[in-house]
Amino acid sequence: MSEPQTLPFTTVTGDNYPRTLHGYRVEDVDRDVTAMRTRIDNLNQYAAQLADRNTLLQEQIDRLTQKNKQLADQADQAAKRQANPYRALGDDAQRIIDTAKRQADDTTTAATRKADRIIQNAHDKADKIINDARARLDKEEQQINAKRAEADRQAEQAKQTLDQARKALQTALDGLKA
């Protein structure tokens, strides 16, 4: 498709045409009118070419839109087949699949509940073991502290006894020396 030839627009004024005795010269006016008609014809041809091109493009758009719709439908069907590849086997097969899915869901739910109970029991037992261990630790710490206090008391008593014995010995030594 070729572009129409570009002709300069001519503004018609009295300055464009020299005046003659009876008005403007016919040759000058005819020349410009012919150029304008040629320009109009070229523009009409170009408009017809654009209309033809527009028609072709619209037909191409319609074909591509139809093909796009077909491809979208095929993609939807493929997705449905992929989601449930057994659909083609019929309603009985679908009911079997639905029942199997429900049973699988029920089994999963029951297993989850059982696992939750087992975990809770394990937590409860662990808490009891920890609490028992803490209680035993507290009791043993009390016993150790009591034994330590008793040992400290006995050590203090032994020290006092030793100090008394030392003093008695010192007194005896001092008595022997004197």
| pTM (two decimals) | 0.36
Query: Is 174 domain-assigned?
Result: no
State the residue for tokens 């627009």. Answer: 9
Query: Is 31 domain-assigned?
Result: yes
CA count, 13 A, side-chain hemisphere, 148 = 6
Query: Is 163 domain-assigned?
Result: no
Bridge partners for 98 per DSSP = none
pLDDT at position 97, please? Answer: 82
pLDDT at position 123, please? Answer: 92
Reduce the secondary structure of 102-150 to three states and give it as a string: HHHHHHHHHHHHHHHHHHHHHHHHHHHHHHHHHHHHHHHHHHHHHHHHH
Write out the chain's pLDDT in tens, 178 residues: 555 555 455 555 556 656 666 677 788 888 888 989 999 999 999 999 999 999 999 999 999 999 999 999 999 888 876 776 666 667 777 788 889 999 999 999 999 999 999 999 999 999 999 998 999 998 999 999 889 989 989 999 999 999 999 999 899 888 888 7
pLDDT at position 86, please? Answer: 64
Query: Is 64 domain-assigned?
Result: yes
Q: How many residues does the chain have?
A: 178
Query: Is 165 domain-assigned?
Result: no
Amino acid at 38: T
User: DSSP state, 17?
Assistant: S
User: DSSP state, 22?
Assistant: T
CA-to-CA distance for 176 and 170, rounded, in angstroms?
A: 10
Query: Is 78 domain-assigned?
Result: yes
pLDDT at position 21, please? Answer: 64
Distances (CA, A) of 139 to 57, 116, 117, 146: 94, 34, 33, 10
Query: Is 69 domain-assigned?
Result: yes
Please list, residue by residue across 20-46, b when 16 or more beta carbons sit within 10 angstroms of its beta carbon and e when fewer do.
Answer: eeeeeeeeeeeeeeeeeeebeebeeee
Query: Is 68 domain-assigned?
Result: yes
User: DSSP state, 21?
Assistant: T
Work out how many domains the chain is built from and give that number. Answer: 1
Question: To which H or E segment does residue 81 belong?
Answer: helix 26-83
> Domain range holding 61?
1-83
